[in-house]
Amino acid sequence: MIDINTVITGLGIAGNQVSIPIIQQMLDLLPEIPMIKLIISFILWKPFFAALICPGFTTLGILLLFFPWIERKLCGRIQWRVGPHEIVWWLGGIIQLLADSLRFLFQEVIVHKDAHRPYFLQFPFLTFIPALLPLMFIPAGNIVAIETPYAIQIILAVVCLFPLFILGLGWASNSRFAFIGTVREAFMYFAYEVPFIIAVLAMIVLYGTSDPVGIATKQTIWGIILNPIAALTFFIAAAMATSRMPFEIPEAEQELAAGPHVEYSGIAFGLIYVLCYEKAYVLAGLMTMLFLGGGSGPAIAGLGDLSGVIWFLLKVVIVLTTLFVLRAIYPRYRLDQGLSIGWSAMLSLSLIALALSIVLVLGGVI
Amino acid sequence: MKKVTVPEQGLGEKVIRHATAIGVAMKESVYPLTATVFYPRERKKMPDNFRGYLMFDPDKCISCWECAFVCPANAIQMKVAPNKRYYPTVDYGKCIFCHFCVDSCSGGALKTTKIHDVAYKDMDEMLTLTEEMLEEPEIIREDKKSVEYVIDEHDLHLKRVREVDTLFVAVTPPVEIPMVSQCIDRASCIGCRVCEEVCESGAISSSTEQRGILRMKIDTDKCTGCGLCVKECSMRILRLVKK
């Protein structure tokens, strides 16, 4: 008979548990049932908890289910419309995306004659690599899947890889709308990438570290107050990166139908539809980490490590909602206007932010 | 050539404009000025003189054809009823709901309702016969609330009241002015007897005098004052006058 505690200690997951005092008593009773303790300890093992529950798949899944609804509802209210309403109308159409995804599931995935069949079918799935990988490095409170001092650089690298997959989608579609959308995506990528990286660099210079947990502990004053210019640049770059409304240039509905993913249907379209929200979630997580103090906040009694998770999620939701509101109030820029904003205003803003960070560090503020 | 240019704005003005946009968005997301009525579950409260589905009361009808004459869409056709009177039928495929028929009806036989959702399965059903206009039509009501549009000094608001609005209105009938047909120039009568044929109440009769001359006679008691004979008289010698 193998002793479970020996196994847990042997696997090295004993010391790194998420502590939740409120359910600790219940967990203490569980060793009576065989195997349950092993499973529970494994789930509560911090890296696994981060990957599986928060900020990983479970949180992402729930957010993806509700965020398109929240966005449509919010934009509807602002624009004096109603938004999704008829599905479960007494709850305001809250399961709209569930209904949509059912439709996506049962729709035929049409691969048209001119498409490059293998890539056309592969890319919707491959695009999940850059969309999901950054979640491994984003901390919720003190829970993070992979702890590394180079977390922010890795997140940046993977996020900047994202447009490459969109280009792949557009290329494999082999349609004129997808082609134009893809080229616009490439242009917008050039427009936001440099200011985006410099804005993040400014914050790394300010904190002197790129370790996510270290950054959270360094932010006694939030980054957005220390360096608001970097925050603004980051926010605009995030809006550009996720094709939010003022910069919805690649997938201009009125001109290009849906840009790079015009040819997709069925579940492939469903996957691409949520990709944009996944990217927004990752960028909102990064913004929370860099500018809003990560999971810092007054500790909620009885929740232990979960308190950080809740604060992190709250901040992410606020950032995401702000991103979504942009859709309701702004018209779309032209491609050349977007490029000029990227290369003039945003680039200078990011450089000013970098200078401000250097001044703050030399002045000994942080 | 005059070139259209973007108006010049300073940085401060741009920032103010962005801030205004965001402020409006925040205000509207909390308290939106939506004017949408969730129709099957709630209905907009219509005024009593709403121009909707038509109902008909044959007792008040004097068969004057005025509704059919005035209808600009030619939706009203008169059909003969078993009692040999002519009553209107409405083709809702043509009707534009102008309610000229209701306005022109001298006896108040045609009346309006607040029913605006008139739907049919096919074109043939759209021709509503007189019998179908006598009784209140069957309506599937899902609404629990009625909505009123209230315009205050700033904006338009919706006022939702938890009551089911009644769709059938009691319209006060117009003041009846009894009219009667009268021949104003008996010497010009050519004796074509069109007035006698056209009269539905049998008020006009003819009798042959000596030398074969027809003499028309209008019975003022029977005359309903519908004016059909006035319209049809080829010599234009009949007039409607007050009784």
Residue A351, chain B, CB below 8 Å: the answer is: no
Two tokens, residue A235:
């926010």
Both A34 and A66 in one domain: the answer is no
For chain B, the domains span: 42-161, 179-242
- Among A78, A81, A82, the residue with its CB nearest the CB of B25 is A78
Question: What pLDDT score was predicted for residue B235?
Answer: 85
Contact (CB<8Å) B28/A85: no
Both A184 and A39 in one domain: the answer is no
Spatial separation of the C-alpha atoms in residues B86 and B79, rounded to whole Å: 5
pLDDT at A80 over 70: yes
Domain range enclosing A256? 57-362
Spatial separation of the C-alpha atoms in residues B10 and A363, rounded to whole Å: 32
Say how many C-beta atoms besides its own lie within 10 A of residue B216's C-beta.
18
3-state secondary structure of A110: coil
| Contacts A89 to B, Cβ<8 Å | 38, 41
**Residue A51 covered by a domain:** no
Contact (CB<8Å) A74/B29: yes
- Among B24, B29, B34, the residue with its CB nearest the CB of A82 is B34
Both A117 and A31 in one domain: the answer is no
**Residue A49 covered by a domain:** no
Question: For residue range B185-215, what is the model confidence (pLDDT) as tens digits?
Answer: 888 888 888 888 888 888 888 887 777 777 7
* Banded pLDDT at A329 (limits 50, 70, 90): confident
Nearest by Cα to A284 from A176, A140, A157: A140
> Which CATH number is B179-242 given?
3.30.70.20
Distances (CA, A) of A67 to A215, A261, A316, B107: 28, 20, 12, 61
Contact (CB<8Å) A78/B34: no
Both A317 and A346 in one domain: the answer is yes
Both A33 and A94 in one domain: the answer is no
Both A61 and A37 in one domain: the answer is no
Is residue A283 within 8 A of residue A244, CB to CB? The reply is: no
Both A36 and A103 in one domain: the answer is no
Question: How many domains are contained in chain A?
Answer: 2
Mean pLDDT, contiguous 10-residue spans, chain B (243 residues): 84 89 85 82 85 88 87 90 87 90 86 85 86 84 85 80 82 78 84 84 81 80 85 86 83
B204-208 and B86-91 as β-strands: parallel, antiparallel, unpaired? unpaired
Q: What type of residue is B50?
A: F
Both A95 and A19 in one domain: the answer is no
**Residue A104 covered by a domain:** yes
Distance of CA B220 to the CA centre of its chain: 30
Question: What pLDDT score was predicted for residue A103?
Answer: 86
Both A149 and A247 in one domain: the answer is yes
**Residue A52 covered by a domain:** no
Both A11 and A111 in one domain: the answer is no
pLDDT at A333 over 60: yes
Spatial separation of the C-alpha atoms in residues B171 and A283, rounded to whole Å: 64
Residue that is written with structure tokens 């949509």 in the block? A100
Chain A CA closest to residue B28? A78
Same fold, B42-161 and B179-242: yes
Question: What pLDDT score was predicted for residue A348?
Answer: 92
CATH architecture of the domain formed by B42-161:
2-Layer Sandwich (3.30)
Mean pLDDT estimate for chain A: 83
Residue B180 phi/psi, 5-degree rounding, is: -145, 150
